[in-house]
Amino acid sequence: MGVSLPDRPSFCAVQHAFLFADPAAHSRSPEMHRAAFAHAGISGEYTARRVPPAELPAAVVGLRQPGVLGANLSLPHKTAALSLLDDLTPAARAIGAVNTVIHRGGRLTGDNTDAPGLLAALADVDAPTGGLSVVLGAGGAARAAVYALVSAGHTVMIVNRTHARAQALAAELGGRAAWPETVPWSAVTLLVNASSAGLDAPDESPLSPFVPLEARAVVYDMVYRPAETRLMREARAAGLRAENGLGMLAHQARLAFRAWTGADVPVGVFLGALAGGRMPQPEGGA
């Protein structure tokens, strides 16, 4: 089954972007992108579609239609889409995951805006750069984080519940796999939780017990529900700055929107859309 698009002639001014995910119903991306279309004065629509894995190839074919800007991909499609596209950006190829598909003249390019989205969110909070960073997790989000931080010159250690996955990630993308006991925590200036620990679980932490970090360290939790995770709570109690993943969510959307439309909409528009309603539902970044 393909993507059912409105029956519009190709010269129609209304442009479309989609989210393909399964589930997709709770996504906050439509609110962010609708706000961006309105801000940029572009006549556009953004629709979240539940696309089961078996239907992804047909859904991707549908993106080649005139009037379609592209799509965001979220769980479980970020990796499966790699083989369905014409081109991949260097970031998407290295990370091995696509969260943004860009349509130009019938060709589809896969990009990953999670990685630059994280760096932009870290820059917004003046997170230290170039020091020792620890990434917790070894799934798709951790891959984007390690790629981003290594590219930005951080020394990266990767700690994951399943150590072998941290080792595989380090071998592929750089950084060094570590056990919690072997990390020199007092020298860590950036801690990124890219694991699912804490998601919908206010009492769960990926770093338990919490350990003191360098005094100016920032703790960045990609999880944003609850808005303050246990990791953030304990970091703040230790006198450290801690942020949830809403900034990254907004920036990855901003970068996707810019790739589709060329419009550089301020991140505040995306953050405003997220703040305007109920708390965002986790959706793996898109």
Ligand X SMILES: NC(=O)c1ccc[n+]([C@@H]2O[C@H](COP(=O)([O-])OP(=O)(O)OC[C@H]3O[C@@H](n4cnc5c(N)ncnc54)[C@H](OP(=O)(O)O)[C@@H]3O)[C@@H](O)[C@H]2O)c1
Residue 24 Cβ, how far from ligand X at the closest point, in Å? 14
Nearest residue relative to ligand X (C-beta): 139
- Collapsing DSSP to helix, strand or coil, 43 comes out as coil
Q: Residue 115 corresponds to which amino acid?
A: A
Distance between CA atoms of residues 137 and 4, nearest Å? 37
| 112 in a labelled binding site | no
Quick check: 137 binds ligand X (CB under 6 A)?
yes
Quick check: 114 binds ligand X (CB under 6 A)?
yes
Q: Which of 158, 194, 213, 255 binds ligand X (CB under 6 A)?
A: 194
Residue 153 CB burial class (10 angstroms; 0-12, 13-18, ≥19):
exposed
Check 33, 49, 77, 78 and give the catalytic one: 78
Q: Hey, what are 251's tokens?
A: 């920036």
Among positions 51-110, residues that touch ligand X (CB under 6 A) are none
Binding window for ligand X (CB under 6 A); candidates: 14-22, 38-46, 80-88, 189-197: 189-197
| 143 in a labelled binding site | no
Strands (DSSP E) contained in 22-169 are 44-50, 68-73, 87-88, 100-104, 107-111, 132-136, 155-159
What distance, in Å, lies between the first and last C-alpha atoms of the chain? 23
Residues in binding site: 27-29, 74, 99, 114, 137-141, 160-165, 222, 224, 245, 252
Residue ranges in contact with ligand X by CB under 6 A: 114, 137-142, 160-162, 165, 194-197, 199, 204, 206, 222-224, 245, 248-249, 252, 282, 284-285
